Amino acid sequence: MTTFPWLTTLGLVPLVGSIVVALLPRGRTLLAKQVALAIALITLGLTIAMALQFQADSTEPFQFVESHPWIPSFGISYSVGVDGIGLVLVALATTLVPVVILAGWHDADDSRGTVKGYFALILVLETLMIGVFAATDVFLFYVFFEAMLIPVYFMIGRYGGVQRSYAAVKFLLYSLLGGLFMLASMIGLYVVSAQITGTGTFDFLTLAGLEIDETTQKMLFLGFFFAFAIKAPLWPFHTWLPDAAAESKPGTAVLLIGVLDKVGTFGMIRYCLPIFPAASSFYAPIVIGMALIGIFYGAFVALSQTDMKRLFAYSSMSHFGFIALGIFVFTTQGQAGSVVYMVAHGLSTALLFLTAGFLMTRYRGSSTIADYEGVNKPAPVLAGFFLIAALSSLALPGLVSFVGEFLVLLGTFERYIWVGALATLGIVITAAYVLRLYQRTMTGPVKPELSGMKDLGGREVTALVPIVALTIILGLFPAPILNVINPAVDRVMQSVGATDPEPTVPLSSAVVEGTDK
Amino acid sequence: MSALTSAAITVADTVTEFELPSINYSAIAPILIIFGAAVVSVLVEAFAPRRARRPLQLVLVIGSVIAALVVVVSLAGTRLVTAEGAIAVDGPTLVMQGTLLVVALLGALLMAERGIDPQGDAFAPRASALPGSEDEREFTERGYLQTEIWPFFLFALMGMLIFPAANDLLLMFIALEVMSLPLYLLAGMARRRRLLSQEASLKYFLLGAFSSAFFLYGTAMLYGYSGTVSLPGIAEALTAKPSEASLVTIGVALLLVGLLFKIAAVPFHQWTPDVYQGAPTAVTGFMAATVKIAAFGALLRVLYVGLGGMRWDWEPMLWIIAILTMLVGSIVAITQTDIKRMLAYSSIAQAGFILVGVVAVSREGLAASMFYLIAYAFTTIGAFAIVSMVRDASGEATHLSKWAGLGKKSPLVAGIFAIFMLALAGIPLTSGFIAKFGVFTAAIESGATWLVIVAVVASLIAAFFYARVIVLMFFSEPTEETASVVVPSAFTTIALAAGATVTIVLGIVPQPVLELVSNADVFIR
């Protein structure tokens, strides 16, 4: 194990970069973009370098661990480290940031905020995203969790659409509501830890090892879960998402839905389950119910949307239902599937929003579905990417989202066969709205206004290709990611005290093959 | 030293023996320094030529405050009761006095500003001239500037220094008056919108006098019950004869009305918005920050030292007041259209959050309340510094609509103001978050979980109006109406920079200050 502070470096690079970008003279917009992109690429390079040193078979719960006392008065330390789950999510974040910067090259050009400001905010957000997935101190996690709101708030409010300030405030207040209840729970947890061990602490491993009595667990769980359910968002805490997504720039939406919302589901698997095992099993049926409703509610509402961004938002909500379902069925496959699904959803969200964003910049920025018809004639490449995005969203076999969805369903079937059967129906509706969207906008006779539409340029294709490549490679060969995730998931399962149900038929699923490689 | 403290000289008299009170002068030196400076300041007003007054006063004020601060720091660790039990110098006293002096220094810098208002400074040229009268116009035209604010400032500060140190109710009452009377006058001295200012002054005076009377009446009741006005004496009486409940309960209630008035707790908050709005902004900032500290210091001492024995009687009452204060402050702030009034309601809501720490009734509660006061004071004074800089042709542009798009016109100033708003809203990485975290922790530790849940809801409501200011500054386009930011002289700049620095530093590395307050979390009894 190296002693190089990987995670801190990883977090500092974008932060320093954002300061540099913010200090550039106002007129140098091109330079600001170039610096931002370079910083994001350096961060990605560092992430890859770090990931290569990650030992999947390590017995340590966390790797690249650093710990320094921060506020000893409250038992708070600056402690970071990643397990497999944290690592893939950090990697997701650092992959999407350069893509978003490149894709959103002109996003901020005609906004009311400055161009450099937009890119500086993206970099600050990157620091906070890395921090939130890397924190192993609950307080530190909370700080990142809440601080993330501020850059997003400004990204929506300053650079968004017509209803931007409404959407930004709604987003902020909703998230703060969850965050404040989590704060109360977190303080409660601290007080409980002080009662049990004599000194209060926020260290995750210590907290996860505590034997908290069940009544207390049930109360504290609610605060954490509420925050995560709003963040994710699960039905019925989702109403901020469509507004925020619709008013954001495509790049903002990608980071918001693709990465930030994962903090919610990440929080459930990282914090809710290991720290409150008894409460998690107690509430599992309710959460599974919420997840199921979310799957169908999101899908049905998506079916009736007339605006692309809102459609994607509701579709994401439906996918978050799957992720939460996988976490709360307490099977190895379900949870591993959820984590894969988080990554897959991040990638497919990026594809959807960015391609749609490219489409919108070609026609007055309109995101109304009815404004587009027959785009595949003037812009075949764009239509092609749009199709891949659509297929990735409906989890076509061979794409990474399929691996995630399949594992989640498999894990669900193992435990609750009827829930699994119901959830499977959700896929059908997903296929319906996604394909219908493609059919309406891309096929058919070309709308006269659109006939002169330019196809994707080199920059735009460059931004999309890595995502498409990852989607396909990980879809065909998920072993690397599963190998990293599985030990972490096993630890979560252990800490909840859950074991996989005895299989009634011999296991011969793709997972086992995948993990054995 | 020995010469100072060996005061117990007995004077033999034919009838009675009179014992000179023993006073540890070094322990009360900070108060004496400010008192001395205040007296000299009056003399300067009377005898120094007009030109020399301002430099003399500034040297006097800044010098004396710094000197007092140095003495407070050198007293660190002192725990004693002096002046026949009337003054307690202990951890909380010194922390509060130290904070008061630093914040007062920043307040003095704001009041000394002469680079913002084109007519000179923020104060009426002659406070005695009737608003709108011929005299007033003449004084303004001649460009008169006055320096009478400085003696008032110093006397008020002296009262504030005594207030949290007062270990008996009579001295506490005197401190209350010494602190308040100059403030009533200062509130009425605004150069512009003088009627509003004078109305504020009168309102503050009348309601303040009322509340002082309540305080005094409460003191009398407690004296009637316990035969003493000293806080430890009352505590003793409470344990000795806990039966005569009605007299004590009424006395405590009246006493608390007086103190809760000063911290602007609901339902004793009615004066706050009017006074905050009417008073010159520099005075508002000074007063908002310091009176809160001094009054909470006194409240904490009364509750923890004097009335600890009947905790079960006043705790439910303070719960209700804390809840009301948080909710009313936050909800009413939403409807405000004037930035100063909004900050006034914000300060009411903040008082509610501090009360959450107070009703924890524990060492942690005391430490957390002190930390909150420190964090709040610096943020507040910084926020008012900015309010004094945002102006249009008619003076300060306090209507919120004039702040629309300020982020585009002056990104730096608007950005700093946004940090203050986020700190008051309690967002992580600002002092306000650690402060809230501290009081909530203390409250949950002592079992007040439900109070914290209400506080959480109130925080959310409060976040709404703080966020609204940010929305206005950053997410709206500037209009014709939008005010502009006047570049101030070094005075305001230093105060603003200090406020912003402390707000951020306490959010990121709060440990030294947390240690300071937790080392000072025991009252001497």
Residue range B429-443: mean pLDDT, rounded? 94
Banded model confidence at residue B495, pLDDT cuts 50, 70, 90: very high
Within 8 A of A71 by CB-CB distance, chain B residues are 434, 510-511, 514
Query: The pTM is what?
Result: 0.90
- Summarised one tens digit per residue, pLDDT across range B374-389 is 999 999 999 999 999 9
- How does pLDDT run across A138-167, given as a tens digit for each residue? 999 999 999 998 899 888 888 887 888 888
Distance CA A245, CA A105 (A): 19
Cβ–Cβ contact B428 with A under 8 A: yes
With a CB cutoff of 8 Å and minimum separation 6, the contacts of B394 are: B192
**B427 in A contact zone (CB under 8 Å):** yes
For A205-229, the three-class secondary structure string (H helix, E strand, C coil) is HHHHCCCCCHHHHHHHHHHHHHHHH
Taking the CA of residue B371 and the nearest CA in chain A, the distance in Å comes to 12
The reply to whether residue B456 touches residue A164, judged by beta carbons under 8 angstroms, is no
Taking phi over 0 as left and psi of -120 to 50 as alpha, with beta for the rest, B432 belongs to alpha
The pairing of strands B484-485 and A76-82 is: unpaired
CB contact under 8 A, B429 and A143: yes
d(CA A62, CA A376): 48
Least CB–CB distance from A184: residue in B438, B453, B470: B453
- Nearest-by-Cβ selection for B452 from A143, A149, A184: A184
Instruction: Report the percentage of chain B scoring pLDDT > 70.
Output: 96
The pLDDT, as a whole number, for residue A2 is 54
Q: Which of residues 75-114 of B touch A (CB under 8 A)?
A: none
> Closest Cα to residue A189, out of A176, A202, A177?
A202
Residues of B in contact with A164 (CB under 8 A): 475
Hey, is the C-beta of B449 within 8 angstroms of any chain A C-beta?
Answer: yes
Q: State the smallest CA–CA distance between residue B369 and chain A in angstroms.
A: 15
pLDDT of residue A512: 47
Convert the pLDDT of each residue in B297-310 to its tens digit: 999 999 999 988 88
Instruction: Report yes or no: A257 at the B interface, CB cutoff 8 Å.
Output: no
Q: What is the C-alpha separation between A355 and A363, in angstroms, rounded? A: 13
pLDDT at B271 over 90: yes
Q: Is B514 on the interface with A (CB under 8 A)?
A: yes
- The pLDDT, as a whole number, for residue A503 is 61
Residues linked to residue B468 through DSSP beta bridges, in sequence order: none
Mean pLDDT of B315-337: 94
Chain B from 452 to 511: CB within 8 A of any A CB: 452-453, 456-457, 459-460, 463-464, 467-468, 470-471, 474-477, 510-511
CB contact under 8 A, B422 and A150: yes
Q: Does A181 touch chain B (CB under 8 A)?
A: yes
Please give the residue of chain B at the shortest CA–CA distance from A75: B511
Which DSSP state fits B478? -
Q: What is the pLDDT of residue B6?
A: 45
Secondary element (H or E) of residue A70: strand A63-71
Instruction: Say whether residue A72 is in contact with chain B using an 8 A CB cutoff.
Output: yes
Chain B CB within 8 Å of residue A161 CB = no
Mean pLDDT of B452-464: 92
Confidence of residue B7 (pLDDT cuts 50, 70, 90): very low
pLDDT at B74: 95
List of chain B residues whose C-beta atoms are within 8 Å of the C-beta of residue A115 = none
Question: Does residue B130 have a pLDDT over 60?
Answer: yes
- Name the residue among A70, A176, A194 with its Cβ closest to that of B463: A176
Closest CA to A453 of A352, A388, A360: A360
What CA–CA distance (Å, rounded) separates A66 from A89? 18
Query: Looking at residue B1, what is its pLDDT?
Result: 42
Q: Using CB atoms, pick whichever of A71, A169, A191 lies closest to residue B514.
A: A71
Using the Cβ of A183 and the Cβ atoms of chain B, whether some distance falls under 8 Å is answered with yes
- Report pLDDT for A514: 44
Q: Does B334 lie at the interface with A, CB-CB under 8 angstroms?
A: no
pLDDT at B356: 95
Instruction: Indicate the pLDDT class of residue B222, thresholds 50, 70 and 90.
Output: very high
Within 10 Å of residue B119's Cβ, how many Cβ atoms? 16
B26, pLDDT greater than 70:
yes
Q: What is the mean pLDDT of residues B108-137?
A: 86
Average pLDDT over residues B49-66: 94
Locus of tokens 């007293």: B75
- Across the interface, whether the CB atoms of A169 and B467 are under 8 A apart is answered yes
DSSP string, B109-174: HHHT--SSSTTSSSB-S-TTSPTTSHHHHHHHHTT----THHHHHHHHHHHHHHGGGB-BHHHHHH
∠ CA(A71), CA(B96), CA(B383), 5° rounding? Answer: 75
Contact list in A for residue B433 (CB cut-off 8 A) is 143, 146
B520, pLDDT greater than 70: yes
Reply yes or no on whether the pLDDT at B466 is more than 70.
Answer: yes
- In this prediction, residue B151 carries a pLDDT of 95
CB B452 to CB A72 under 8 A? no
For residue B15, name the pLDDT band (cuts at 50, 70, 90): low
- At residue B10, the pLDDT reads 42
Q: Do B452 and A165 touch (CB under 8 A)?
A: no
| Tokens, residue B62 | 């800044």
* Consecutive 10-residue averages of pLDDT for chain A (517 residues): 80 92 85 91 93 86 90 90 92 93 84 83 94 93 91 87 85 89 91 88 88 89 92 87 87 90 91 91 92 92 89 91 92 92 92 89 82 85 91 89 92 89 88 90 84 84 91 91 90 83 58 45
Q: Is A73–B453 a contact, with Cβ atoms under 8 angstroms apart?
A: no
Per the CB < 8 A criterion, the answer to whether B468 and B343 are in contact is: no
Element containing residue A68 per DSSP (H, E)? strand A63-71
A23 Cβ under 8 Å from any chain B Cβ:
no
* Encoded tokens for A105: 């090259």
* CB within 8 Å: B464 and A173: yes
First-last CA distance in chain A = 24
Q: Which of A26, A73, A182 to mutate to test the interface with B (most CBs of B within 10 A)?
A: A73
Residue B193 has φ and ψ, to the nearest 5°, of 45, 60
Q: Is pLDDT of B5 > 70?
A: no
**Which residues of chain A make contact with B441, given a CB cutoff of 8 A?**
74, 187, 190-191
Contact B475 A191 (CB under 8 A): no
**Chain A residues closer than 8 Å to B434 by CB:** 71
Provide the residue type at B216 as one letter: L
**CB atoms closer than 10 angstroms to residue B43:** 12
B514/A180 touch (CB, cutoff 8 Å), yes or no:
no
Query: Is A158–B434 a contact, with Cβ atoms under 8 angstroms apart?
Result: no
pLDDT of residue B35: 96
pLDDT at residue B14 greater than cutoff 60? no
Q: Assess contact for A139 and A202: CB atoms under 8 A.
A: yes
DSSP A3: -
In this complex, do B477 and A146 lie within 8 Å of one another by their Cβ atoms? no
Chain B environment of A177 (Cβ under 8 Å)? 460
Task: Tell me what pLDDT residue B11 has.
Answer: 42
Sort out which chain A residues have CB atoms less than 8 A from B456's CB and list them: 180-181, 183-184
